[in-house]
A and B are shown apart, each in its own frame.
Chain A
C-alpha cells in the first residue's frame, strides 16, 4: 500500500507536466480545430529559456519561470501569425502538416543554436525530501504540483470569468457568429496561443528543475503523451486535459512501478487507440451529432 501511494505521488508529479502541456493542445484545438504538433517543442524552448535566464541572467527560479512563460507566449503568437494564420481557410491536413514542419523547425533550430547534447539544468532550489508516514515527497515535486494547480486555476478563471475568456468560448463555439457579434477573432486566437504556449513554457522550466536534464529533442515524447492526455480527457475540453494529464502520468508510473517499465509507452499508446475506438470524444466529452 505504501509503495502504491509512493508511486501515486511520483505519478502526480509526472502527470502535472503532461497536464500543463495538454492544456495548450486542447485550447488550440478547441478554438481552431488544429492539433498543434509544435506545442511539445514550445515546451522545450521554455526549458531552454529558463536555463538561460538562470545561468546567464542569474535570475532566481520564479522570475525565470515568468520570463520563460512570457517568451513562449510571444513565440506561440508568432508561430500562429506566421505559419498557421495564412492557412486558416486551407484544409485541415495542410495546417497539420505545417504544424509538424514547425515542430521540426524548432527542434533543429535549437540544435543549431545550442547543440544537441544533454545539459544539466541549474539547481536553483535545494531539493529537500520530506518524509511522513513512510512516504517521500521532494520539494520540487510539491512545487511542480502547486505551480500546476495555481496555473490551472488561473486559466479557469481567465476562461470563465473574463471578457477575453468569454470571447474565446464564443469563437470556439462558432467563429463566424462571433465575428458578426463584433469579436476580433484573430486576436482571440492569438490570445489562446499565447495562453497555451505560456503554460508549456512553465512546464519546460518545471521539468528542467525536476529531472535536471534538458536537450532539444526533449519535447517530442512528452508532447505526444500530452496529446494523448488531451484526447483521453476529450480534446477541446479544458478540465478534460487536466484529468487526462494526471491520468496518463499516474498510469505510466504505475505500469513501470509494477514491473512493466518496458511496456509503459505501449500501454499509453494502447489507451489512445482504445479511446479513439470506443469514445473518440474523450472521457469527459459529449457526443455531438454532426449536422448534415
Chain B
C-alpha cells in the first residue's frame, strides 16, 4: 500500500513537471520576468525601471498584446542584493519558466544572474547594466543570453575622455572612484585608457562612505583641470556638495550614475555647478516619441521619467519587437530574434545590436549649472 502511494506520488510529480514545462508557452499569455532593485541602496534606479517596465507592458496589453497574446509580467525585487538577484534569476528561468527576463538595473546584479540564465537558456536584457564584461565572458566570447539596452562603460569612459579633451579643453584629470563597484572600476579603466592628458591623482572610496572631507582636503591644492567621478548618485551627490563647499570649483565629470533627481537634493542645487554627465536620453528632447513617453509616465506615476525609466521602457518594446519578429515565445527563438534586431527605434535612440550584444548608439553629455540642465552635447566616439 505504502509502496503504491509512493509510486503514485512519483507519477504525479512527473506529471506536474511535464505540465510545468508546457506552461512556458501558454496559449494566450507570454510570460516575461521582471527583476529589479526595488528596495535597497540603488532602489532609485530599480524602482524607476520597474515602473517603466510595468507601464510599457500595460501599453502593449491595452493595444492587444503581441502575437494576439497578453504579456504576463512576473515581478521580483532583488533588494539591491546580488545573492538575491542570482536566486531570483534561477527562479524566473526554471520555476516560473518565463520566455525572457528584463532587468536587473545594475552590473553586479546582472553578473550574479548570468550563470543561472545561461544554464537555463533564457535571455536576459538589462536596461542599464553598463559594465563591458557583462556580455563577454572571460575568454572574450560573447555571453549567449545577455543583452543590454544601454551603452557599455568603456563606451562612456571613452566618450567622456573625448568630451573632456575636445569640449572642456582639459589636460589634467583627477580621478575619484568607488573602489567597491564594478561599474566605477570599468569606467575608470576605459577613461584612463583613452584620456590623452595627465592623471594627476587617483583617489578611492567605498560604497558606504559619507565623509569625503579627508580625501577632498588632500586633493584641494593639487593642480588639475577637472574631476572625473565615476560613481552612483548617492555618493556623487555628497562629494559634489563637500567639494563645492570646500571651494573646489573645477568641473566634475561623471557617467550615467549621476542621472537621478536625488543627485541635486543630496548635493544641494546651488552646489551643482559645472557638472557634466553622460546620459542615455534627455527629457528635453523634441522627439515626439520621447514626449509621448514622458507624458504617459507622468500620468501613471506623477514624476518625470529619468533615463533609467527610458531605458527600461525601451527594453520592453525591444523585447516585444523580438517576439513579433520571432513569431514564437520560446526562449531560444527570442534569443535569436534579439541578435537579429535591426533599427530598433526607441526613446533612447535608434540602434541595432553588434556581435557582442551591445547596442550601437551615441551618447549625450549633459551640462548642469545651478542644478539645471543647460545643454547637451552628442558624442559619438
Whether B214 contacts A262 by the Cβ 8 Å rule is no
Q: A52 within 8 Å of B by Cβ? A: no
Instruction: Specify which chain B residues have a CB less than 8 angstroms from the CB of A262 in the assembled complex.
Output: 179, 204, 206
Whether B210 contacts A211 by the Cβ 8 Å rule is yes
Whether A120 contacts B211 by the Cβ 8 Å rule is no
CB distance from B218 to the nearest CB of A (A): 5
CB distance from A246 to the nearest CB of B (A): 15
Q: B266 within 8 Å of A by Cβ? A: yes
Whether A118 contacts B217 by the Cβ 8 Å rule is no
Whether B41 contacts A6 by the Cβ 8 Å rule is no
Of B47, B246, B262, the contact of A118 (CB 8 Å cutoff): B262
Whether B39 contacts A115 by the Cβ 8 Å rule is yes
Distance in angstroms between the alpha carbons of A229 and B41 in the assembled complex: 27
Whether A10 contacts B213 by the Cβ 8 Å rule is yes
Instruction: Specify which chain B residues have a CB less than 8 angstroms from the CB of A215 in the assembled complex.
Output: 41
Of A14, A257, A259, the contact of B217 (CB 8 Å cutoff): A257
Distance in angstroms between the alpha carbons of A182 and B218 in the assembled complex: 58
From A10, A116, A118, A253, residue with most partner B Cβ within 10 Å: A118
Whether B245 contacts A138 by the Cβ 8 Å rule is yes
Given contacts A129-B245, A261-B205, contact A119 B40 (CB under 8 A): no
Q: A127 within 8 Å of B by Cβ? A: yes
Distance in angstroms between the alpha carbons of A14 and B209 in the assembled complex: 12
- By beta carbon, the residue of chain B nearest A254 is B214
Within 8 A of B (CB), among A173-224: 207, 211-213, 215, 217-218, 221
Within 8 A of A (CB), among B194-229: 203-206, 208-211, 213-215, 217-218, 221
Given contacts A118-B234, A221-B208, contact A261 B215 (CB under 8 A): yes
Of B211, B218, B238, the contact of A3 (CB 8 Å cutoff): B218
Q: A147 within 8 Å of B by Cβ? A: no
Instruction: Specify which chain B residues have a CB less than 8 angstroms from the CB of A14 in the assembled complex.
Output: 211, 213
CB distance from A228 to the nearest CB of B (A): 16
Instruction: Specify which chain A residues have a CB less than 8 angstroms from the CB of B221 in the assembled complex.
Output: 3
Within 8 A of B (CB), among A94-136: 111, 115-120, 123, 127, 129, 136
Whether B215 contacts A256 by the Cβ 8 Å rule is yes
CB distance from A100 to the nearest CB of B (A): 19
Distance in angstroms between the alpha carbons of A207 and B40 in the assembled complex: 20
Instruction: Specify which chain B residues have a CB less than 8 angstroms from the CB of A207 in the assembled complex.
Output: 210
Q: B44 within 8 Å of A by Cβ? A: yes
Whether B262 contacts A117 by the Cβ 8 Å rule is yes
Of A11, A213, A254, the contact of B234 (CB 8 Å cutoff): A213
Within 8 A of A (CB), among B296-316: none
Q: B371 within 8 Å of A by Cβ? A: no
Q: A7 within 8 Å of B by Cβ? A: yes
Whether A120 contacts B265 by the Cβ 8 Å rule is yes
- By beta carbon, the residue of chain B nearest A111 is B39
Distance in angstroms between the alpha carbons of A213 and B218 in the assembled complex: 23
Whether A211 contacts B262 by the Cβ 8 Å rule is no
Whether B43 contacts A261 by the Cβ 8 Å rule is no
Q: B237 within 8 Å of A by Cβ? A: yes
Whether B41 contacts A116 by the Cβ 8 Å rule is yes
Whether B218 contacts A257 by the Cβ 8 Å rule is yes
- By beta carbon, the residue of chain A nearest B180 is A262
- By beta carbon, the residue of chain A nearest B40 is A116
CB distance from B297 to the nearest CB of A (A): 18
Within 8 A of B (CB), among A12-44: 13-14
Whether A118 contacts B214 by the Cβ 8 Å rule is no
Whether A129 contacts B246 by the Cβ 8 Å rule is yes
Whether A127 contacts B39 by the Cβ 8 Å rule is no
Whether A212 contacts B238 by the Cβ 8 Å rule is yes
Whether A117 contacts B44 by the Cβ 8 Å rule is yes
Instruction: Specify which chain A residues have a CB less than 8 angstroms from the CB of B268 in the assembled complex.
Output: 120, 123, 212
Instruction: Specify which chain B residues have a CB less than 8 angstroms from the CB of A252 in the assembled complex.
Output: 214
Whether A136 contacts B262 by the Cβ 8 Å rule is no
Distance in angstroms between the alpha carbons of A7 and B212 in the assembled complex: 11
Instruction: Specify which chain A residues have a CB less than 8 angstroms from the CB of B204 in the assembled complex.
Output: 261-262
Whether B203 contacts A261 by the Cβ 8 Å rule is yes
- By beta carbon, the residue of chain A nearest B37 is A116
Q: B241 within 8 Å of A by Cβ? A: yes
Whether B265 contacts A119 by the Cβ 8 Å rule is yes
From A3, A261, A262, residue with most partner B Cβ within 10 Å: A261
Of A13, A127, A217, the contact of B245 (CB 8 Å cutoff): A127
Q: B169 within 8 Å of A by Cβ? A: no
Q: B140 within 8 Å of A by Cβ? A: no
CB distance from B196 to the nearest CB of A (A): 26
Whether B266 contacts A212 by the Cβ 8 Å rule is yes
Distance in angstroms between the alpha carbons of A262 and B215 in the assembled complex: 11
Distance in angstroms between the alpha carbons of A270 and B304 in the assembled complex: 47
Distance in angstroms between the alpha carbons of A218 and B211 in the assembled complex: 12
CB distance from B252 to the nearest CB of A (A): 17
Of B39, B203, B245, B266, the contact of A213 (CB 8 Å cutoff): B266
- By beta carbon, the residue of chain A nearest B209 is A261
Within 8 A of A (CB), among B54-85: 80
Whether A120 contacts B39 by the Cβ 8 Å rule is no
Distance in angstroms between the alpha carbons of A121 and B43 in the assembled complex: 18
From A6, A256, A259, residue with most partner B Cβ within 10 Å: A256
**A/B interface sample: 8 pairs, CB < 8 A:** A3-B217, A6-B217, A118-B262, A211-B238, A213-B210, A217-B41, A221-B208, A261-B214
Given contacts A257-B217, A261-B215, 18 further A-B contacts (CB under 8 A): A3-B217, A3-B221, A7-B218, A10-B211, A10-B217, A11-B214, A116-B40, A118-B44, A119-B262, A211-B211, A212-B238, A215-B41, A217-B41, A256-B215, A257-B214, A261-B206, A261-B214, A265-B206
